Amino acid sequence: MATFKAVVIEKAEGGQRAALTTFDEADLMEGDVTVRVTHSTLNYKDGLALTGQAPVVRRFPMIPGIDFAGVVEQSSHPDWKPGDAVVLNGWGTGETHLGAYAEKARVKGDWLVPLPASLTPQQAMAIGTAGYTAMLSVLALERHGLSPASGPAVVTGAAGGVGSVAIALLAKAGWHVIASTGRAAEAEYLRGLGAAEIIGREELAKPAKPLAKERWAAGIDAVGATTLANVLSMTRYGGAVAACGLAGGMDLPTSVAPFILRGIALYGIDSVMAPQALRREAWSRLARDLDHAALAAMTTTIGLDAVIDQGPEILAGRTRGRVVVAIS
Ligand code: NDP
């Protein structure tokens, strides 16, 4: 029987246990496309799945990993044939459907997008779900009618995955980017990605006033909680904020003041169930707009054997930029 290497999470006494092991191809779940996975990545949600710190995994055993790039091996889906290079983000992969930290995945063809021609599979996963989410956030701000002429843009969780890609995208488009980080030592890294100003995370950590001094026209927030409340209260009249993360918490201790007195908008960003048309738009913009040198500067690469140990690291906010998992 055919087997392949995979990280597998099993239920164990008092929680769960993750191990690098072999997996039977016959035990893959239903799907009309089988993919040889070449690269995956480490996202915040993968950290939650690997550690069990939040109930991300809804089925056991589970192969974690919410995104991959790979090559189609077998397909009964009309859009895909063997040899096609593909990318997958979300759709419950690594949560309810066996995921990406494996040499093989079987998924629905409807979930896949083509690997953009100008990106290698490694670059696509250096972007990964974090970078695709950053692009979805930029698209939301643009749809609001904002542009670099509107004023500065703030990015929170700046040295993380979403934050790093958001900075690079906004800076390349000409925005004055204000990067909020808890890691002062990463100032040079953030400037290298294109940040014009660095502010300390603590500036956005005090309880938010209903309205505060207007500091930016746009925001991309990966942190949530008090940080997002402060970002909102400091957004200029008519501005907008894209909320995509919860690295600082799930709550949102704000008031209606920024909305009804400054007319600002808060856009929710979801990458997991985003419709195909939006995904393809995001990936084609990433292929066109993301500076490859900036992408390389924010990326480190690990093997499948190192991924389990990296779970607690990303949850502790110690991971810089993006981590690619090279698989086969
Ligand atoms: P990372 O861990 O790479 O980045 C998160 C960053 O947030 C950290 O690097 C750190 O940045 C900052 N941070 C961490 N802990 C805290 C804290 N307690 N208080 C304030 N800031 C903190 O994760 P990702 O970039 O992969 O993901 C970021 C967030 O976006 C996560 O919450 C994730 O779940 C969410 N996400 C949501 C998606 C969606 O579909 N909506 C898709 C992808 C991600 P610094 O050191 O610079 O302060």
At which of 252, 268, 284 does a domain end? 268
Say yes or no: 47 and 137 in one domain.
no
Residue-range definition of the domain harbouring residue 240: 129-268
Q: Is residue 23 part of a domain?
A: yes
Q: Is residue 274 part of a domain?
A: no
Q: Is residue 156 part of a domain?
A: yes
Task: Name residues whose C-beta falls within 8 Å of residue 143's C-beta, 6 or more positions apart in sequence.
Answer: none
Nearest-CA residue for ligand 1 atom 1 is 160
Say yes or no: 34 and 111 in one domain.
yes
Mean pLDDT of 25-47: 97
Give the Cα separation of 97 and 30 in Å (integer): 9
pLDDT at 325: 98
For 59-193, where are the E strands, in sequence order? Answer: 67-75, 85-89, 104-107, 113-114, 153-156, 177-181
Mean pLDDT of 39-47: 97
Which numbered atom of ligand 1 lies nearest the CA of 269?
41
The dihedral over CA atoms of 216, 217, 223, 226, expressed in degrees to the nearest 10, equals 70
Mean pLDDT of 34-48: 97
pLDDT at 14: 85
Per-residue model confidence as pLDDT tens digits over 135-176: 999 999 999 999 999 999 999 999 999 999 999 999 999 999
Say yes or no: 136 and 108 in one domain.
no
Mutate to test the pocket of ligand 1, among 202, 206, 241, 244 (most ligand atoms within 8 A of CB): 244
Give the Cα separation of 104 and 70 in Å (integer): 9
SS3 214: coil
Say yes or no: 155 and 110 in one domain.
no
Say yes or no: 50 and 82 in one domain.
yes
pTM check: above 0.90: yes
At which of 268, 287, 309 does a domain end? 268
Instruction: State the complex-level ipTM.
Output: 0.99
Give the Cα separation of 129 and 288 in Å (integer): 17
Q: Is residue 259 part of a domain?
A: yes
Give the CATH number for residue 175: 3.40.50.720
Which numbered atom of ligand 1 lies nearest the CA of 43?
26
Q: Is residue 281 part of a domain?
A: no
Give the CATH number for residue 314: 3.90.180.10
| Statement: residue 1 has pLDDT above 80 | no
Q: Using DSSP bridges, classify how beta strands 197-200 and 15-24 pair: parallel, antiparallel or unpaired.
A: unpaired
Tell which residue, 257, 253, 255, 231, has the closest CA to residue 244: 231
Say yes or no: 59 and 94 in one domain.
yes
What percent of the chain stands above pLDDT 70?
100
Q: Is residue 109 part of a domain?
A: yes
Say yes or no: 138 and 188 in one domain.
yes
Say yes or no: 133 and 250 in one domain.
yes
SS3 168: helix
Q: Is residue 286 part of a domain?
A: no
**Cβ of 220 less than 6 Å from ligand 1:** no
Residue 156 CA to ligand 1 center (angstroms) comes to 8
Say yes or no: 140 and 80 in one domain.
no
At which of 268, 288, 318 does a domain end? 268
Say yes or no: 142 and 111 in one domain.
no
Mutate to test the pocket of ligand 1, among 223, 230, 278, 323 (most ligand atoms within 8 A of CB): 223
Say yes or no: 60 and 134 in one domain.
no
- Average pLDDT of the chain, as a whole number: 97
Residue 139 CA to ligand 1 center (angstroms) comes to 19
| Statement: residue 290 has pLDDT above 90 | yes
Say yes or no: 218 and 262 in one domain.
yes
Q: Is residue 81 part of a domain?
A: yes
Residue 247 CA to ligand 1 center (angstroms) comes to 4
**Cβ of 127 less than 6 Å from ligand 1:** no
State how many domains the chain has.
Answer: 2
